[in-house]
Amino acid sequence: MTTRPAPILICDDEAHIRHVLTVKLAEAGHPTLCAADGEEGWALAEAYRPAVVVTDVKMPRLDGLALARRLRDRLDPAPALVLLTGQGATLTADALDGLTVAAQFGKPFSPRELVRCVRDLIAAPSAPGGAA
């Protein structure tokens, strides 16, 4: 019996970013789930337990940082977290307020680099669904 890999959850209120990442991750063999905001993302994360969550920081209803805190506090193990920030900005440790973030990508970003990052996170022994 083969086990299915844990999905990658993409949370972004921009449909074109969700689409591009879904296509690129699928081409790399990663199943994906998509959400247009943090509330929808939380519901999918709770139901499907993704290995990695790629989330925009600024989204309606529940922003990416609030989603990240909810993932950290309510899922065990918490998925690896990749943040997307606008205009090439990066968040400081103070802004992250204790969140463990695997990577940050400023928009616009290279989908190829993001896929490589996800691949590396999944391959890490400590990642949910990663190598043991």
- At 40, list the tokens: 């929808």
Please give the angle made by the CA atoms of 82, 83 and 84, to the nearest 5 degrees: 125
Token pair 């990695």: residue:
52
d(CA 59, CA 66) in angstroms, rounded, equals 10
| pLDDT (tens digit per residue) in 3-41 | 667 899 999 999 999 999 999 999 999 999 999 999 999
| pLDDT (tens digit per residue) in 91-127 | 777 778 788 899 999 999 999 999 999 999 998 766 5
Helices 64-74 and 38-48 pack at an angle, to 10 degrees, of 20
Instruction: Tell me the pTM.
Output: 0.89
Position 132 pLDDT exceeds 50:
no
pLDDT at 94 (0 to 100): 75
d(CA 97, CA 78) in angstroms, rounded, equals 16
d(CA 25, CA 59) in angstroms, rounded, equals 22
d(CA 4, CA 85) in angstroms, rounded, equals 30
With CA atoms as reference, report the closest residue to 55 among 46, 63, 45, 44. 63
More confident residue, 130 or 113: 113
